[in-house]
């Protein structure tokens, strides 16, 4: 009974294509996370104009 083996080139190609897909997914994920962090930073920042208005009324 003979064993069928995959050629070494095909294994390397599959591994590198998997790495490329993982790199692309990681890059997209990091982009989304950074965009979410920027959005949170702008919405969580206190409105300084309101604080300045209230300071003069005391």
pLDDT reported for residue 52? 64
Taking the chain (58 residues) in runs of 10, the rounded mean pLDDT of each run is 69 83 97 95 72 62
How far, in Å, CA of 58 to CA of 46, rounded?
Answer: 19
Buried-exposed string 40-51: b where 16+ CB fall within 10 A, e elsewhere: eeeeeeeeeeee
pLDDT reported for residue 48? 62
Task: Report how far apart, in Å, the C-alpha atoms of 12 and of each of 5, 21, 33 are.
Answer: 14, 14, 31
> What are the extents of the domains in the chain?
9-42
């Amino acid at each position: 009974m003979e064993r069928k083996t995959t050629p070494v080139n095909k294994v390397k190609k599959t591994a590198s294509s998997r790495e490329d897909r993982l790199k692309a997914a990681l890059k997209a994920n990091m982009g989304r996370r950074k965009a979410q962090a920027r959005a949170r930073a702008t919405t969580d920042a206190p409105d300084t104009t309101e604080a300045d208005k209230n300071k003069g009324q005391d």
